[in-house]
Structure 1
Amino acid sequence: MGAESALYTILVEKIKQDALVLPLLPKIALNVRQAADDADISLGKMSDIISHDAALSLGMLKVANSVVFGREIKVESVAQAVTRIGLRKIKSIATGIAIEQMFVSNNPVISKYMQKSWGETVDVASVAIALMTLYLTKHKRAPFTLDTLTLAALIHNIGTLPILTEAENHPEVFAKPVFLQQAIARLSNEIGAEITKAWGFSEELTELVMSWNDLSILLKEVHYLDFIRAGAVYHEIFTSESTRDILLESLVTKDILPEAKFMDSEAFSELLTQVRAMFN
């Protein structure tokens, strides 16, 4: 049995036996989510919770000052950031930001893969957020929120984490790019869906993680999937030119893109740069 098949077999068996160790949501994200579910939570208390984590505090400041919130006056404190973002949106945005802390490894090969995986996730998320920002300016009554999309985009490929962790446990055999790429392609969606369930996320997010790159599922109505897939098209994660053309045509039909080549425009590039700054 080759190493690729061995890794695949180990992962499949652990999934079947419910023995695969799923990553735990970062403690700070749990704290924020629990606080946000408290009907009596105040903006001040939420600010205190976020302020205990330097990375999350910085992330919240970047989000609050981003083009997404469209404010010229910059906020300079966590309290101001929480006030601008709002308690309803804090839960999803804080969770998404905190997830970055999970993509770390002491193994050079695994670490490189984790950085690559998180980088691609942010790339896709940035495009998705930029397009939804534009979409919501034209469709103000659309049943979508930027905070939900942000979380969805930042977890859409979360299934790579347990695969990389398993490889890290046996680096002499599995910490090789070709094996990791195959295992991720085959299993990351299924594993990612299990993670969303373990974290108590909505069924909608579970389905999104399971099907974001399953192009047999083409929804007639606008969906969060469309924005994430737009990010995958932009960054050529979908390698087939015909697939990209079909998706672009669908995005134009749904009025997510004004025309097929819009994402090549200077205007979109400028907006994307501004959105991407949230994650730098």
Structure 2
Amino acid sequence: MIDEHAFLTSLFKAIDNHKLTLPTLPEVALRVRDSVEREESTAKSIADIVATDAALSARLLQVANSPLYRGRVAIDNLQMAVARLGTRMVRSLVVSLIMQQIFQPTSEQLDQRFRQAWEESVQVAALSRVLTSNLKHLDREQAMLAGLIHNIGTLPILTMAEHDAKLIDDREELERLIELISAPIGQRILQSWGFPESLIKVPGSYQDLSYDGGELANYVDVVQVARLQTLQGSDHPLAQLDWSKIPSFAKVGIDPEVSVIEIEGVAKDVAEVEVIFLG
């Protein structure tokens, strides 16, 4: 059994010595993020930034015309697409495109695990967006982004595992490491990306079922409930627990016995989000 503390120390040392590079946001993503944070930013100013990246531009127009956001008329103009989607959704799309590029294996042995990590992120993101619909103090698109990045700390662990034959062959040990140390790694990535504290908290706290961040639900609560909902009915150990004792359910306003996906309209909304991010 691998010493998780030693593994984490080794991983952070590799990062500090530039032997293992954390994923970084490209220039266009940084500019979009910074523009979204500025109150004086406009749909035109953000569209001008997006226009510098052909792949992102095409993706933005595709999503603006998807069933989830489609209006009465089709859109073929980036400024109109930004106006329809909203700046936070545009930022989520930029980050999701980067993450899709990040979650690419360099070895066939871990291909399935990389794909699983991304698909889990999208499922949690879709449900996080739905769960936030009745939480007026939270933003739906921000909640979706929180879901997309909640398990990003898994990536460097898989990258390190690719250089450790024993770890690649021991799936149970690999999953144990991911469960134990992905949180601080995820926080470090988001800090390096300059994310707000409300999102940096997500990878570090969503696994803590006793988490209590205050009277009102925050993005940790939403992601926590969304993730558990994706496990409902499975044989996962977390699905066997008494969810009524988890504070996040009451804050989000969801009965632990209820399957959110079975609520009218939810399955359709979730499917439409999955189409956007999974194709």
- Common fold by TM > 0.5: yes
Counterparts of residues 45-60 of structure 1 (less than 5 Å): 45-60=45-60
Counterparts of residues 104-253 of structure 1 (less than 5 Å): 104-133=104-133, 135=134, 142-168=136-162, 170-176=163-169, 177-219=171-213, 220-236=215-231, 239-243=237-241, 245-246=243-244, 251=249
8 Å contact from structure 2 (residues 22, 156) kept in 1: yes
Structure with bigger RCO (C-alpha 8 Å, 6+ apart): 1
How far residue 262 of structure 1 moved from its aligned partner, in angstroms, is 4.2
Tell me the equivalent position of 1:84.
Answer: 84
- The range that moved more, 111-120 or 10-19, is 10-19
Aligned CA distance change for structure 1 residues 16 and 41 (closer, same or farther; 3 Å): same
Classify the secondary structure of the residue corresponding to 2:265: helix
Unmatched 5+ residue regions in structure 2? Answer: none
- The range that moved more, 151-160 or 218-227, is 218-227
How far residue 74 of structure 1 moved from its aligned partner, in angstroms, is 3.5
Tell me the equivalent position of 1:272.
Answer: 270
Classify the secondary structure of the residue corresponding to 2:181: helix
User: Which letter maps to 2:131?
Assistant: L
Distance in structure 2 (CA, Å) of the matches to 1:235 and 1:213 = 14
Classify the secondary structure of the residue corresponding to 1:196: helix
Identity of aligned residues (%): 29
8 Å contact from structure 1 (residues 248, 260) kept in 2: no
Tell me the equivalent position of 1:102.
Answer: 102
Distance in structure 1 (CA, Å) of the matches to 2:40 and 2:260 = 44
Distance in structure 2 (CA, Å) of the matches to 1:185 and 1:259 = 25
Unmatched 5+ residue regions in structure 1? Answer: 137-141
8 Å contact from structure 1 (residues 26, 102) kept in 2: no
Classify the secondary structure of the residue corresponding to 1:206: helix
Residues 135-190 of structure 1, C-alpha deviation per residue, up to 9 Å, x if partnerless?
Answer: 15xxxxx221123212211111110111111122x153332333321211110011
Residues 93-141 of structure 1, C-alpha deviation per residue, up to 9 Å, x if partnerless?
Answer: 42234322111122012222111101100011111112223x15xxxxx
Tell me the equivalent position of 1:12.
Answer: 9
Distance in structure 1 (CA, Å) of the matches to 2:242 and 2:274 = 22
Aligned CA distance change for structure 1 residues 218 and 244 (closer, same or farther; 3 Å): farther
Distance in structure 1 (CA, Å) of the matches to 2:44 and 2:252 = 40
Length-normalised TM-score, structure 2: 0.80
Length-normalised TM-score, structure 1: 0.80
Distance in structure 1 (CA, Å) of the matches to 2:228 and 2:253 = 16
Classify the secondary structure of the residue corresponding to 1:226: helix
Distance in structure 2 (CA, Å) of the matches to 1:231 and 1:244 = 16
Q: How many correspondences in the alignment? A: 270
Aligned CA distance change for structure 1 residues 41 and 17 (closer, same or farther; 3 Å): same
